[in-house]
Amino acid sequence: MKTVKITFQFLVVVLLFVGIHNANAQGKEYVPALKLNNGKEMPQLGIGTFAISYEAAKAACLEAFRNGFRHVDCATAYRVEGAVGEAMKESGIPREEFFITSKLWVSDYANGKTLASIDTILKRFQTDYIDLLYIHQPIGDYINAWKEMEKAVASGKVRSLGISNFDASNERFHAIVDNMEIKPVALQIECHPYAQRNDIREWVEPYNIFIECWYPLGHGDPGLLSDPVIKKIADAHGKSIVQIILRWHIQEGFSVIPGATNPVHIKENINIFDFELSDEEMTTMRSLNKDKRFFNVTLEQLDSWAR
C-alpha cells in the first residue's frame, strides 16, 4: 500500500508539472513569430502598456501571460518597466520565452546617457537583456544614441534595435537605415484600418523592416469600432469587430500591440488564430483606408520636446 501511495503522489506531481508547463507554453503554440532582418524571431502579437498605471500594467501583463501573450511593448516614458519585470518574475515563465521591448526617450540619451539608461532599464525589467530597444522619437541626438545602442548589442545587453515614430521624417528615417552599422528590425507607427500607412510600408520594404502598429484599434475610435463593413465580416466569422481588426493586422504581416487591462479584452485580443479572413474580406478591409490618424503632431512640435 505504501508503494502504491508513493506512486500515486508521484503521478500527481508529474501531472501538475505538465499542466503548469503547458499553461506557460501555450502562447508559443499559436502566436506566429516574425523572422527579423537580423535572424531573430519576434511574436507577431503583443500587449501594449501605454497610458496605464504601474499596478494596472502588472496585472494586465500577468493576465496576458496566463492567456498566452509573451511579447510586451513598453517604454521608459510609460513608467511601467518595473511592473513588467515584476510580472515576468511572478509568472514563473522562463525568461527566454518572453520578447520584451522598451524605448529610449530623448532625455534618456541626451548628454551621452544612453548606456547608463539601458542599464537602468535592465534593472527595472530584472533581466540581463532587452529583446528589442527602440528610439522613441526622431528627435535630439538620435544618431549618437543609435551608435551607443549598437554598443549595447555588441555587449549582449540588447538583442535587436528599432525606431519608433520615424515616419515623421523621411530624412531622419534614412539617416538611420542607410548610415548605421546595425539596421532597425522594426518601425513602430500608428496604423489601423482607417490609416493603413501604405506610403510608409513602401519606405520599409527594401530594408526588410517590419511595421509594428500602435493605436491598432484607432485609439478606441467609436466609428472604427462600430464600422458596419467590419461588423458584417465579424458576424460572418462569429467574432467581434476588434478581433477582425487585429486579424487584419496579422494577415497584413504587421506586428500588432493592442493595449488592454480588462481580462475579457485581453483574452479576446489573443483569440484570433482560429480563423482567417478571405482574400475578398482582406480587400474589403483595405478599402476602408482614409489616411485618418488620431495622433497628429508635426515634426516641429516633436523637435520642441527635445529642447
Task: Please identify which of the residues 54, 78, 129, 215 carries the catalytic annotation.
Answer: 78
C-alpha to C-alpha distance for 65 and 263, rounded to whole angstroms: 11
Boundaries of every domain in the chain: 31-304
Instruction: Return the beta strands (E) in the chain as ranges.
Output: 33-35, 41-43, 47-48, 71-73, 99-104, 130-135, 158-164, 186-190, 210-214, 255-256
Closest CA to 112 of 140, 131, 139: 140
- Mapping DSSP to helix (H, G, I), strand (E, B) and coil, where does residue 236 land? helix
Three cell numbers, residue 155: 555587449
- How many residues are listed for the chain in this entry? 307
Selected from 3.20.20.100, 3.40.50.300, 1.20.1050.10, 3.40.50.920, the CATH number assigned to the domain covering 31-304 reads 3.20.20.100
Q: Which amino acid is at 214?
A: W
C-alpha to C-alpha distance for 218 and 259, rounded to whole angstroms: 12
129 noted as active-site residue: no
C-alpha to C-alpha distance for 261 and 264, rounded to whole angstroms: 9
What is the pLDDT, as a whole number, of residue 101?
Answer: 98
The sign of the dihedral angle between the CA atoms of 138, 165, 252, 201 is: negative
- Specify which residues 211 forms β-bridges with: 187
Residues of the chain with pLDDT under 70: 1-29
What is the pLDDT, as a whole number, of residue 307?
Answer: 85
Q: Which amino acid is at 213?
A: C
Query: pTM of the predicted model, to two decimals?
Result: 0.90
